[in-house]
Amino acid sequence: MPESGTSPKLVLVEELRDYYEQIENIQEDAQELTAPLDDTQFNWRPSAKHWSISECLAHLNVVDRLDLPLLAEEIERGRAAGLTGSGPFRYGFIGRWFVGFMDAPPKFRISSPELYLPPAGRLKDKVVPEFLSIHDRMLELVKKANGLDLVRIKVPSPVGPFKLSLGQRFALLAAHDRRHLWQAWQVRKHRDFPV
């Protein structure tokens, strides 16, 4: 248990400390992106084929809300099975490639599975607090994963038969979040964005 006033990330293994910092940075980036916006700006779309800032964040809320229970379950299962480790952890090529592929800026545009499609027209004071709350939960799960073998524990996907290691699932969540925050920033920087 960290001493009072000590950051919880200081007791984490290096890889988890990195994920913790990435998630904190994602929270800060989302707040910086959305703080000055009203609901009209938050829901403005550059075109019918492009998402609004609201939809980018709501998409992350949908995806992350579905992923977190799977992470929590496998963390508990791994702990119960005694799957411990301190790293450094090594991951396979396909998992590393997939995480890199999902990071910002996007290399290719891909369609989201229907399960992950965001609702349109959501208010900023609903979407942003939900985003921050989900990411607070993500930070808790990073802390709970400390001491576990981040390679041997596998986490299923809500939309397919494949599994990724626990460490790579944290990396994928952060990469995917950065991808859609980058997309949201492009909306805000668009020449026709309402001011």
% of the chain exceeding 90 in pLDDT: 75
Structure confidence at residue 4 (pLDDT):
54
* CA–CA separation, 2 and 174 (whole Å): 25
Structure confidence at residue 107 (pLDDT):
83
Torsion of CA 92, 137, 23, 157, to 10 degrees: 30
pTM higher than 0.75 for the full model? yes
Q: Walk me through the domains of the chain, giving residue ranges and CATH numbers.
A: 8-189 (1.20.120.450)
User: What secondary structure letter does DSSP report for 85?
Assistant: -
Q: Which range is most confident: 11-15, 113-117, 121-125, 180-184?
A: 180-184
What is the CA angle 45-132-58, rounded to 5? 30
